[in-house]
Structure 1
């Protein structure tokens, strides 16, 4: 499965519960992903509108991955969290912010890419 397809699947699963009105979602992510999500969000918003007929706006909050995880844990109302290490997501799972079985809910244990 291509990386872009995996990312679209993860995003689509995250957006599955949107109501009929236009929604605003907050993606708390790490700094390096800022430009990627700027481009990806525009493509996803158009795809979502085309496939559902609904509008969605995606706001971004970027910072160091661990700092973002702490902010979400401390109350940042993020709809989607995209961290660069599993330890940051595991931290959120350990505090109950993210489901303990988060990795099993998506293809490839929620890892759209790998590196060596």
Structure 2
């Protein structure tokens, strides 16, 4: 049971090792929890819009969050500091760190290329 928030939980995402989970709340915050004890470890504040997605980096040092305002925020999970705000032009429906934590993959198509009748979509690969 997760306690210590008011309002509705929009989404929950687990870390790859299942030790942490992040929840996006209607009050425009994200909370990071210890998955086994249910203890709230951090509250990430400073959002100006609803959070739709969250993803942990493989080493748990970063958390990415995608917002309705077409931005992705990258957070340091030890200091709760927002390291970057990336304007991505569309609202992503998927975000995922690679295993090194240096790249963030999204499903946002930035370019469609037609080669001999076959359409290929080129997607964002963000170096962070």
Normalized per residue, the structure richer in helix is: 1
TM-score (norm 1): 0.28
Higher RCO (CA 8 Å, separation ≥ 6 residues): 1
Query: Which has the larger Rg?
Result: 2
